[in-house]
Structure 1
Amino acid sequence: MASRYSLLGIVLNVLFCVTTNAEVKPYISTEAEYRTECKTCPRSLCTNTLYYEGGESLNATCWTRGTKIMGDRLWLKTESECYVTQYDVLEYDGDYTTDLAYCGKKSEEQHLTLEDATLQYKTECRICPSITCDTVSYLKEDTDVTLTCWTDEDTQIIIDDPYWMKTTNNCYVAQKNLYSKPDITYLDNCGPIPFLEVLHHWNENGTSDVNKREPDALSLPVPIEQSAQYLINVTVGEEYAYCRYCPEDRCRVKKRYEFDQEVWLQCLVDTNGTWWSETTDFCYVKNSDFWQSPEGDYYRNPLCERFEDPDEDDE
């Protein structure tokens, strides 16, 4: 009798396993709700294999765990053998973790190339490699950053350099803003990068702990034309333009620029209604000394105060 019950238990167990396995689907069809990156691993810092446009269809073949995005660590592997966060696809009326197979423990691993660098200038670290992309962090000169990958594909050329570097702040800096060019033979290519917006791609879990601050509500000058190249290139329109240690006439002169000399600007300062610009020589010139009007002619020329640490005590 005991053996008969044992045999019955084995049969029921087999039937249960067959039934359970039958519920696991080979794939689930869905579509990207927002433009989203499909990555080589389920981590925000991993490089991209491709990206999906909003509304583009895809098939999820298995699930895994990765970077927490909006409170959710669930990522999906697609038929293209890359990973998207569940947050970026349409809501599924079911449970991926029961309806799809688990991709395996190895799928959760993060593989990155890393290289240290230091910023030479004040730098906007952007969610994608163009000055039209949202700023994630405002980083001061001499800030140490860690680079993870590089790209020169469809990027914003800064002065004469198309290369941008992704950092462990989970945002991109222009190579021109670094003290020296990194050896990209030691870094991965970032892969295809779409235009992204912080509105849909804010990473709440803090892969950007170092120097990361949410862009604040400071208002920028209204641009007249949207054709900036950051760092911004202007020319002196007076016989001399004095570059001072601080943005006031009373401040000591650090450097003197001559008529029609080319100058590169980092950011803007409004001193009692008079606009000044900090140059790459780390001194300030009145904007009225230039042929151009940097506070009006250029798109997203940042305010210098954005690069200051709000918690830093005034000296």
Structure 2
Amino acid sequence: MMSFKKVLIDNKSLIALLLLMGAVSLYSPNFLTVDNLLNVLRQTSINAIIALGITYVILTAGIDLSVGSVLALSGAVCASLLAADTPLIVAFMATLFVGGMLGAANGVVISFFGVQPFIATLVGMTMLRGATLVFTDGRPISTGDFEVAEAFYQLGGGYVAGIPVPILLAAAVFGVGWLVLNRTAFGRYVYAIGGNEQVTLIAGINVRRVKIVVYMLSGAMAALAGMILTARLESAQPTAGLGYELDAIAAVVLGGTSLMGGRGTLIGTLIGALIIGVLNNALNLMDVSSYYQQIAKGGVILLAVVVDSRVKSR
């Protein structure tokens, strides 16, 4: 009996996802069609990629509220480079570098100046959103009609063997992210810092460096998501990424990662992102107003946090 209960507790996110999918499929027969499921996965891919980076951050007992603004600024940089007919690989790598450095700046402020992650990344969110508006002059930046831009559009709207490219990219980064977190010393350091930072420091691990790398990863993932979104829209929007940090954090929490750090998995984060994606799709199929969608999403997240707290307390 106890082992069955433990299985239920350990897999509560997956069970919740399956129950949600079952309920939606009963309401709408179109939900389980291949086209709709691929659409759900494609819509989920951006949030999942951002959530991957935030999972690393939260595992160290941190938080990153700046990812939405990093996404917007990185997308604007990428669009500007492509409009200048920059080679695609150069624009791609330069955008990842920009996102990584913006994330690393958060890590430096937190690690070397002792600023709380919430405050540091909140300031970063505000400043980078302003920088995006300055950089774009408040107007969308088109990627242009050059041949390199046409190839770039495949990043957001292309298919490989009938599978949307964003889904394949999300699968690839999650595969690499899982290996790093579960099969390398760096991954063990991430868990150790979240479990007990002082003990980890005494053990001789460079906590500052690990934190900077973790925030750098979060910024790079936001930049990748920004490029996918820019490719899908064929332009960089100055307001892109608004609220994306909340959806990503929600996915991490729904996946069972503790906000106190030291406990969680990337598989759980992926399931959490899918829960949000299925919920959004279900509300759209039911023609629920976007205003009520926000209320419903908030209620689901609150329920997940309450259930997780009750489980931990027991």
Whether these two folds match at TM > 0.5 is no
* TM-score (ref. length: structure 2): 0.22
Point out the structure with the larger helix share: 2
Task: Tell me: higher relative CO, structure 1 or 2? Use CA pairs within 8 A at least 6 residues apart.
Answer: 2
* TM-score (ref. length: structure 1): 0.22
Structure number with larger C-alpha Rg: 1
